[in-house]
Amino acid sequence: MRYFLLLPIVAAGVYCAQPSSNHQENVPAIEKDTLPPVETQKPNSTYKPAFPGQTRVQGVKTATPYKVDKIAEGLGKPWAITPLADGRFMITEKSGFMTIHDANGKQLKKVTGFPEVDTRGQGGLLDIAPDPDFAKNKMLYWSFSEKQKDGTNLTAVAKGKLSPDETQIENPTVIFRATPSLNSNLHFGSRVLFDKSGNLFVSVGERSILEGRRQAQLLSSGLGKIFHITKDGKPAPGNPFIGKKDIMPEIYSYGHRNVQGLAFHPVTGDLWEDEFGPMGGDEVNIIKPGKDYGWPTITYSLEYSGQKVGEGIQQKAGMEQPIYYWDPTVAPSGSVFYAGSAIPEWKNNLFICGLASMHIARLVIVNNKVVGEERLLTDKKERFRDVAYANNMLYTITDGGSLYRISKK
């Protein structure tokens, strides 16, 4: 999802989130040999990709010896893991609290005092991000499902100060609500990520039900969007729709289904995301300001019933193609780029958690194209919810309440 060296690493600028088409990266020689794609199951649909390498690229295999250690278990229902600059980690628990752990997984603190969350279905306390000046101001920003007085709910973003003893959130304040609220317990999103300017990117799902699905294409609605907001919840300067009539000025991109992964490329500064399709059609995208990512008009997925989504089309003028997609589904969740050098072939690779697929997908990227894929931790048989990078290592949490550390042997 993110790493604590984020701010200096992306100093080259995420604000111009256009892909760097002339950017060159070297693929380690060990991985130039062709391996078969890691996906061996038959796709759900007969849809054809828009370009070579958009799905089922060649497989790769890590040559550098690495180890996987389970460093904590019994974490309940964790949703996000976020590194702090001092080497510790914050882990949110869906029921409405957070824990702080040391680098070896030991729980140091339990933090309460968050606003009440709606824990029905996929709801709860979701993502969390420390302020870029957290060491000085102790401010935290988080997303959660908020129940409204009429029984409906929505995705909200709040901020608050961590108490001196690190056990309470002081003065929690909601700064943004993705309206309208609906009667649904699905597709809240939601990732929260600071950019180099100290503003927040926030992803929000379209709530799954048809009423919300239609609004993913509606610019007056906060459903199925990625927002760019200030620390006070206002539109970030330079947003693509500021000053335009009947459009939410906080919107950065739209046409999304349920985005649970956001990560900045360590070199280009581009914002990458991953989102769920229904039956296949999970996507990886590079997010550009003001762009339409197509849901539900174009998609490589099918309905859970096996029927076409809408008109069953995959391309339309004015709508972005995914950089990569999966069919059948992997159910992608949290993601992060590996920014270290301890495992050389992982440098600048994107790691995406798989829920239904029970693995972590490693994607090798060259010139904004996926050129290799590997599946990690398949032997654990766990639903991987989120992943973080720190100090040449990856840390990942699972729906089963486990915390794993992946490091060089």
pLDDT at 28: 47
Name the one residue in this structure whose structure tokens are 């702080």.
100
Q: Residue 206 falls within a domain, yes or no?
A: yes
C-alpha separations of 262 from 257, 338, 404 in Å: 14, 14, 20
- Count of beta carbons in the 10 Å neighbourhood of residue 405: 18
Nearest one of 141, 111, 126, 357 to 230, comparing CA atoms: 141
pTM summary value: 0.93
Residues 6+ apart with CB under 8 A from 32: none
* Residue 311 token pair: 């008109």
- Count of beta carbons in the 10 Å neighbourhood of residue 407: 16
pLDDT at 32: 56
| Dist. CA 261–CA 325, nearest whole Å | 14
Residues in the chain predicted with pLDDT less than 70, given as ranges, are: 1-33
**Domain of residue 223, CATH code:** 2.120.10.30
Q: Residue 399 falls within a domain, yes or no?
A: yes
pLDDT at 18: 37
Nearest one of 317, 279, 270 to 298, comparing CA atoms: 317
Identify the burial level of 186 via C-beta atoms within 10 angstroms of its C-beta, where 0-12 means exposed, 13-18 middle and 19 or more buried: middle
Q: Give the CA diameter of the chain.
A: 59
Nearest one of 74, 80, 79, 71 to 103, comparing CA atoms: 71
Where does residue 408 fall: left (phi above 0), alpha (psi -120 to 50 degrees), or beta otherwise? Answer: beta
What kind and span of H or E run contains 136?
Answer: helix 134-137
**Is the preceding peptide bond at 83 cis, omega within 30 degrees of 0?**
no
| Dist. CA 176–CA 48, nearest whole Å | 39
If you ran DSSP here, which 8-state letter would residue 8 be given?
H
If you ran DSSP here, which 8-state letter would residue 134 be given?
H
Q: Residue 60 falls within a domain, yes or no?
A: yes
Total number of domains in the chain: 1
| Dist. CA 131–CA 139, nearest whole Å | 5
- Count of beta carbons in the 10 Å neighbourhood of residue 268: 25
Catalytic positions: 187
| Dist. CA 38–CA 41, nearest whole Å | 9
Interior angle at CA 271, CA 48 and CA 179, nearest 5: 90
Question: In terms of residue numbers, what domain contains 157?
Answer: 6-20+28-408
What stretches of 84-235 adopt beta strand conformation (E)?
Answer: 89-93, 97-101, 107-111, 125-130, 139-147, 153-162, 169-177, 192-194, 200-204, 225-229
Q: Residue 170 falls within a domain, yes or no?
A: yes
* Residue 291 token pair: 């762009």
Cα 205 vs. chain centroid, distance in angstroms?
11
Q: Residue 167 falls within a domain, yes or no?
A: yes
pLDDT tens column, 183-219: 999 999 999 999 999 999 999 999 999 999 999 999 9
pLDDT at 4: 43
Q: Residue 1 falls within a domain, yes or no?
A: no
Q: Residue 312 falls within a domain, yes or no?
A: yes
Terminal-to-terminal C-alpha distance of the chain: 23
- Per the document, the length of the chain is 409
